[in-house]
Amino acid sequence: MRDFPDRIVVASHNAGKVREIRELLEPLGCEIVSAVELDLPEPEETGETFEENARIKALAAARATGIAALSDDSGLCVDALGGKPGIHSARWAGLDKDFALAMRNVEEALAAAGAATPDRRRARFVAVLCLAWPDGHTQMFRGEVEGVMVWPPCGEQGFGYDPVFLPDGHARTFGEMSAREKHGWRRGDDKPALSHRARAFKALVEAWFGDA
């Protein structure tokens, strides 16, 4: 196992995602800089899985900067839609990244599929982290959280599809939770990880540091 990097580029141009990754990386004591701060171009995501796209983004940032890079490829997978929007979750928001539009698009697709009851509205959030070095070495960590799609959207916290996702065992959507509640975990806590991203980070921490 390589030493954990003391400086990491967050290979994302999504402000909400960068904010959450910063919060989760902070307890690890490394210096964090984002792709936006370094004015890095966004690579074309040509992969067919979360893992492939995470690798593309992390390697592009690591090779462009000469330092380790961490990417996150994540999305919403809805059972009644055959796993869509999946890796194309951001594309459902259009060129303007309008997630109010994306949420309506998902709801309209669910209505067209006749998915009106909770058992027909099952979904999961998936996050895959890729930590990459300039020499091409990569390591992957995956997290998932199961839940149900709700309508209308509830809450203004978080970002993306958070207001329409109700995680199992909870009475509030991710959009109604603070970042701390949504993660459910931070290194040193005894709480279980809740969000897909927090679960992926917990796996990363356990792999490097042997504890969570």
Task: Give the per-residue SS3 of the chain.
Answer: CCCCCCEEEECCCCHHHHHHHHHHHHHHCCEEEECCCCCCCCCCCCCCCHHHHHHHHHHHHHHHHCCCEEEEEEEEEEHHHCCCEHHHCCHHHCCCCCHHHHHHHHHHHHHHCCCCCHHHCEEEEEEEEEEECCCCCEEEEEEEEEEEECCCCCCCCCCCCHHHEEECCCCCCHHHCCHHHHHCCCCCCCCCCCCHHHHHHHHHHHHHHCCC
**Catalytic status, residue 98:** no
Q: Of 212, 183, 211, 207, which is closest to residue 195 (Cα–Cα)?
A: 183
Active-site residue, selected from the candidate residues 3, 72, 73, 190 = 73
- Determine the Cα–Cα distance for residues 190 and 185; give it in Å rounded to an integer: 8
- The catalytic site residues sit at 73
